[in-house]
A = this chain, B = another copy of it.
Amino acid sequence: MSKIFSDKVINRLTLYHCILTDFINKNIEYISSKQIAQLLHIDDSQVRKDINMLNNSGKSRVGYIVKELKIAIEKTLGFKKTKKALIIGAGNLGTAIANYGNFTDYGLKILAIFDNSPEKIGKIINGMEIQDIYELSAVTAKEDIDIAILTVPGKFAQSTADFLVNAHIKYIWNFTPVVLSVPDNVQVWNENLMGNFLQFTYNI
């Protein structure tokens, strides 16, 4: 658990995990590094190198044992340590994230969703009632919240972030296209869709 994995390795391991989940759903018992490599259009040796870094004992002559490899990835990446999160902004993006089934498998537990629009407050998304943003402190006082997922429109991003900082939120997963100004003890992860798009399309 003391190993430090690079961002790229973590990203690949998550993709391997997606593939393994798919194989389990299809009742396939074994998987080869070659099969994984082909699906991701990467090199076979890269897959083997990544997997060799895990505490994975489930190897056989016909390939890795799908279920054991999946567990090895989960243990290595700490999926099982649950992080509690709130979604701030019940627009389309907030709703999409609230409905994104996979998060719980990866240790992200969304406890509540907030908005300031009277038309939205009280509606139900994925079993959660949309709460008034001004009720947020009541939730943070009761529960140890790790992360606020920020999905408000860009023009409200900074003021909402200020509000979250005042509510003692220490990690903000920022889906707005705004760079937030926060104190040094607050960490922001910018889900920089445009940066990703530009990387992807750089050679088109």
Q: Which residues of A contact B (CB under 8 A)?
A: 5, 7, 10-11, 13-15, 17-19, 22, 39-41, 77-79, 83, 91-93, 95-96, 99-103, 106-108, 146-147, 154, 171, 173, 177-181, 184, 187-202, 204
Contact = CB atoms under 8 A, between A and B. Distances in A.
A109 to B, nearest CB: 12
Contact of A93 (B93, B101, B154, B189): B93
Given A196-B191, A197-B173, A204-B146, A179 B99 contact: no
A42 to B, nearest CB: 11
Contacts of A14: 192, 194-195, 198
A22 B177 CA distance: 10
Contact of A19 (B179, B189, B199): B179
A124 B126 CA distance: 24
Contact of A22 (B95, B179, B190): B179
Contacts of A100: 177, 193
A10 B198 contact: yes
A89 to B, nearest CB: 10
Contacts of A83: 201, 204
Given A108-B197, A196-B189, A201-B171, A18 B177 contact: yes
With a 10 A CB-CB cut-off, give which of A107, A147, A154, A193 has the most chain B CB atoms: A193
B178 A22 contact: yes
Closest 8 CB pairs of A and B: A92-B96, A14-B195, A189-B200, A93-B96, A11-B195, A92-B95, A102-B177, A92-B92
With a 10 A CB-CB cut-off, give which of A15, A17, A179, A180 has the most chain B CB atoms: A179
A108 to B, nearest CB: 6
Contacts of A202: 5, 10, 77-78
